[in-house]
Amino acid sequence: MACQCATTADDAKFPPDLVSFIDDWKVKPGCLIMILHKTQETFGFISRASAEQISAMTGISLARIYGVITFYHFFKTAKPGKYKTSVCLGTACYLKGGGDLIEEARSILGIAPDEVTPDGLFSIDEVRCVGCCGLAPVMVVANETYGKLTKDKLSGIFDTYREKG
């Protein structure tokens, strides 16, 4: 079923390229997932205001939008840290200590799942694969991949990003 759309005066909240993307996708089957991906790509997460705007622009109920956002682990409803961190827990990484890495990283940063450090610099996500199985275990910080990691290397990596601010 194609998405039905009703454009509103609130379109100005979204940058023109996002509005254009939504206009292109709103009539296509399966449009919601693509629109949510583009929105998260634009803002780093999907805020309540963004979900409401998507609802207004597409005619899709807010309940349905939140049903999709909360079903798929990929979508975030809170702003991530400046240095978004992903620890791979795919098979190779998990077997080589990925679970220990994520526990140690959270301990070093003092955050739980779905939290951001008080300074706003770091958030940590578990991911299932980053495509670097030969480098297992792997962590990605701000799109920089660190492979063959051990717990004792984590503090130094985080310190490098703290120095950048």
Specify the number of domains making up the chain.
2
pLDDT digits (tens, 9 = 90+) for 59-94: 999 999 999 999 988 899 989 999 999 999 999 999
In a domain, 87, yes or no: yes
In a domain, 111, yes or no: yes
Q: Is the peptide bond before 29 cis (omega within 30 degrees of 0)?
A: no
Q: What is the value of pTM for the model shown?
A: 0.73
Contacts of 59 (CB under 8 A, 6+ apart): 3, 4, 5, 6
The percentage of the chain sitting over the pLDDT mark of 90, rounded to a whole number, equals: 84
In a domain, 77, yes or no: no
SS3 145: strand
SS3 122: strand
